[in-house]
Amino acid sequence: MAILITGGCGYIGSHTCIEMIKAGYDIVVLDNYYNSKPEALNRTRELAGKDFPFYECDIRDAEGLRRIFKENKIEAVIHFAGLKAVGESVQIPLKYYDNNVNGTVVLCQVMAEMGCKRMIFSSSATVYGEKNPSPLTEDMEIGGCTNPYGRTKFMIEGILSDLCVSDPEWSVVLLRYFNPIGAHESGRIGEDPNGIPNNLMPYVSQVAIGKLARLSIFGDDYDTPDGTGVRDFIHVVDLARGHVKATDYALAHTGAEAVNLGTGTGYSVLDLVNAFKEANGVDVPYVIVDRRPGDLGAVYSDPSKAASLLGWKAEKGLEDMCRDSWRWQSQNPKGYAE
């Protein structure tokens, strides 16, 4: 029996493939390479030390999905495949609803048809919206998302929960990620954003390597200790290990469970910049600019449900995250392009 990993060539997916294999699972990977490259797959295979089947396939292609299920015995799906750029989702919402929401519906239809009813889904802390105060707990009412990307995650959580109500054989774990950063400690795989990064850590890394002149810090007048935004940064390898535990859980239970994957500790943008400089002995010039519309002051998790339900806890600290991000960036200044 194997676990199908959709979007397995992406940033979080590639790290999860390695941790799943390390934990003894057989995996099958699917990706359409929309936001990833074959080189990521080559390196994932190299780091896993084991080969696994790969299908270049879109999750909206029902026939392509059926073929994967017919050629492999799939007992559960870890579903990463999706579009994730918040700003872009405002410009081209239909593409986001089609890819993320419709894609998930097609995937679930084929899964049900093939008798595979267990899924671990990549949700996001963004589903908590603007109103809930941190630390965020899974029993808070979700919604009130400020952009189409966030709404796709909210809608998919609802669809998967409805599915579990309609058919008690379904088992779904909705993993709400906080802010994944860092890279595999080998420096061989990591986050490879297209163009100018939107997210903090890739931007900091590209400033440190001289590709970008300086970081713009979006606001220093939030109600936080130093006025800059506070986030729950989590090492991508810890996050990947959370998927192993969620898979163990989904195979042994039914019903839908939402689970935060965070460390429970908030660090500010300035904390991260200073930790990055210190861990790596590099300079990160920055300038304070206006707040970015839609940003919140402090967002961090209460991670206790992940500990009690899944037996998972983040282990890596901010220094590990900064050191591993820099190793990836400095060894691969052009990402997977070289």
- Closest approach, Cβ 126 to ligand UD1, in A, equals 4
Cα Rg of the chain (Å, integer): 19
Residues 216-245 that bind ligand UD1 (CB under 6 A): 216-218, 229, 231
86 binds, among ligand NAD, ligand UD1, none (CB under 5 to 8 A by kind): ligand UD1
321 binds ligand UD1 (CB under 6 A): no
- Residue 103 CB-half CA count within 13 A: 22
Q: In whole angstroms, what is the distance from residue 43 CA to residue 35 CA? A: 16
Judged by CB, which is closer to ligand NAD: 161, or 199?
A: 199
What is the Cα–Cα distance from 150 to 129, expressed in whole angstroms?
A: 8
Structure-derived torsion over alpha carbons of residues 14, 338, 319, 268, reported in degrees to the nearest 10: -90
3-state class (DSSP) for residue 215:
strand
From the list 25, 96, 128, 149, the catalytic residue is 149
Interface mask (CB under 6 A) for ligand UD1, residues 269-308, using x and -?
x----------------------x-xx-------------
Q: Which among 279, 262, 271, 274 has a CA at the least distance from the CA of 321? A: 279
Q: Work out how close the CB of 122 gets to ligand NAD at its nearest, in angstroms, rounded to a whole number.
A: 3
Q: Which of residues 63-102 bind ligand NAD (CB under 6 A)?
A: 80-84, 99
Task: Specify whether the CB–CB gap between 150 and 124 falls below 8 A.
Answer: yes
Task: Pick the closer one to ligand NAD by CB: 92 or 288.
Answer: 92
Site for ligand NAD in 120-159 (CB under 6 A): 122, 124
Check: CB of residue 127 under 8 Å from CB of residue 176: yes
C-beta of 35 vs 224, nearer to ligand NAD: 35
SS3 string, 76-143, reads: EEEECCCCCCHHHHHHCHHHHHHHHHHHHHHHHHHHHHCCCCEEEEEEEHHHHCCCCCCCECCCCCCC
Size of the site for ligand NAD (CB under 6 A): 27
Task: Tell whether residue 161 is a contact of ligand UD1 (CB under 6 A).
Answer: no
Contacting positions for ligand NAD (CB under 6 A): 6-7, 9-13, 31-36, 58-60, 80-84, 99, 103, 122, 124, 177, 180
